Chains A and B, each alone.
Chain A
Amino acid sequence: MDYVMAFIVGGLICLVGQILMDTTKLFPAHILVLFVTLGAVLSGLGLYQPLVDIGKAGATIPITGFGHNLVTGVIQDVDQYGLLGVFTGALRSAAGGITAAIVFGFLMALLFNPKSK
């Protein structure tokens, strides 16, 4: 059941992205930033966590999940350390994701060269 829900929730998020891609003048980079921001705002309003509860990885893997991750970290750190948490929370929470992106990005760049299709 988790798999099915992850597929549906993740798929719907990607569908929104694809519709934006095909029907607006937005560049992929715009959509990327928009989705991170959207995830962060929804998370701040408490609307993203229910999506994560239903869709699990289907909601955390897309880039909206990264926005959610940043905001969750901020909220946790503010609870724990006060206002300083605004500055520390986001990166502490997302450290794993960011470092993994850099490390794997670096490894892939060493291993492969891009090609045109």
Chain B
Amino acid sequence: MKKLGSQTIKFENPPSIIGTATIVGPKEGQGRFKEYYDLILKDSIYQEKSWEKAETKILKEAVEMAIKNSKVPTDKIEYLIAGDLLNQIISAGFAARELGLPFLGIYGACSTIAQGALLGSMIVDGGFAENLVAAVSSHFCTAERQFRFPLELGNQRKPTSQWTVTGAGAMVISSQIQNPRITFATVGKVIDMGEADPNDMGTAMAPAAVDTILRHFQDTGKTPDDYDLILTGDLGSIGKHIAEELLKQKGYDISNKYSDCGVLIFYPEQDVHAGASGCACAAVVTCGYIYKEMLNGKYNRVLLVATGALMSTTSTQQGETIPCIAHAISIENL
């Protein structure tokens, strides 16, 4: 059996990440991981007529670049698993229209890269494909229009709000044996602790991240000592603190090896308030910094716990609370 406990998968032949690509906007390009991105855009419109078109273009180019970096010929890529934050995941669908790859569109809000990587790993380990791409994108300007207010309104951002990362991350997952590899995956449950403020996603998502981390440890029998780094997706400074405290209450002190992509991407001086968010947040850190530093051997065992908030503007307007999810994948050098 490849299943451990109630929610975790142990891959029998752990699929490899054989190539990645990251493209980010100019603000992200001034952030902490600037040397790790493959392409930093000069402006977030990227010579397109709308931000939505720009996001599609970024995603498409990230997929092409990841395939190129993996050195697998494009006709040997069997699936594209992709998602984004917009209604009907148009960035992914429209990028797939250009790419001409068999396409599985997924939505996990900001957890999508982990969802894509775990589904992709199941497909590869299951023997249904040799090579596939998992990719996501997000864009500050399209996400503001989608979830908050269009930029034209010129609204002030709340101190608890997070900055949606403009960018795309793509990884080629393959049955070729090569480090780093995806060894375990824990599929999260939807957790809703009753938080309803869409300007404070970190607080809403932290319990989901904690639930998945605890489940991962219980299912696998692993402890925080089995990892060099535990990385949540986009809890931001507020959510990260809550997650740490909740885990401490449950008897897991991970503070010395725990960080959050949303906290790391931007420098504090960049004044993005509570940190970064968006599908691209966990994706560009994983496909950029983490992947490259795993190749260099700085990290050998990383647990990525990408978090997502599954609300829409309609549910928010109707006063619904925010259901949240977190999926975990173990990425290891074997």
Q: Is the CB of A116 within 8 A of B149?
A: no
Q: Is the CB of A114 within 8 A of B156?
A: no
Q: Is the CB of A25 within 8 A of B140?
A: no
If A116-B27, A116-B140, A116-B151 touch, whether A21 touches B44 (CB-CB below 8 Å) is no
Report chain A residues within 8 Å CB of B155: 27-29
Q: Is B5 an interface residue (CB 8 A)?
A: no
CB distance from B73 to the nearest CB of A (A): 37
Report chain B residues within 8 Å CB of A117: 27
Interface string of B37-58 (1 = CB under 8 A from A): 0000001100000000000000
A28 to B150 CA separation, bound complex (whole angstroms): 13
Report chain B residues within 8 Å CB of A115: 43-44, 151
Report chain A residues within 8 Å CB of B140: 116
Report chain A residues within 8 Å CB of B158: 21-22
Residues A1-57 near B (CB distance < 8 A): 21-22, 25, 27-29
Report chain B residues within 8 Å CB of A22: 158-159
Report chain B residues within 8 Å CB of A116: 25, 27, 44, 140-141, 151, 166
CB distance from A24 to the nearest CB of B (A): 9
Most buried by A among B44, B149, B156, B199: B156
CB distance from B157 to the nearest CB of A (A): 9
If A21-B158, A22-B159 touch, whether A114 touches B197 (CB-CB below 8 Å) is no
Q: Is B152 an interface residue (CB 8 A)?
A: yes
User: How many A-B contacts if CB must be within 8 Å?
Assistant: 32
A8 to B292 CA separation, bound complex (whole angstroms): 55
Closest to B200 in A: A25
A27 to B313 CA separation, bound complex (whole angstroms): 13
Report chain B residues within 8 Å CB of A28: 149, 153, 155-156
A109 to B150 CA separation, bound complex (whole angstroms): 13
A116 to B155 CA separation, bound complex (whole angstroms): 12
Interface string of A88-117 (1 = CB under 8 A from B): 000000000000000000000100001111
A13 to B27 CA separation, bound complex (whole angstroms): 33
Closest to B153 in A: A28
Closest to B150 in A: A114
Closest to A31 in B: B156
A59 to B65 CA separation, bound complex (whole angstroms): 56
Closest to A26 in B: B158
> Lowest 7 A-B CB distances belong to which pairs?
A114-B151, A28-B155, A25-B197, A114-B152, A116-B140, A116-B141, A116-B44
13 contacts between A and B (CB under 8 A): A22-B158, A25-B197, A25-B200, A28-B155, A28-B156, A109-B152, A114-B141, A114-B152, A114-B154, A115-B44, A115-B151, A116-B141, A117-B27
Q: What residues of chain B have their CB less than 8 Å away from a CB belonging to chain A?
A: 25, 27, 43-44, 140-141, 149-156, 158-159, 166, 197, 199-200
Q: What residues of chain A have their CB less than 8 Å away from a CB belonging to chain B?
A: 21-22, 25, 27-29, 109, 114-117
Known: A114-B151, A114-B152, A114-B154. 6 other contacts (CB 8 A): A25-B199, A28-B156, A109-B152, A116-B25, A116-B151, A117-B27
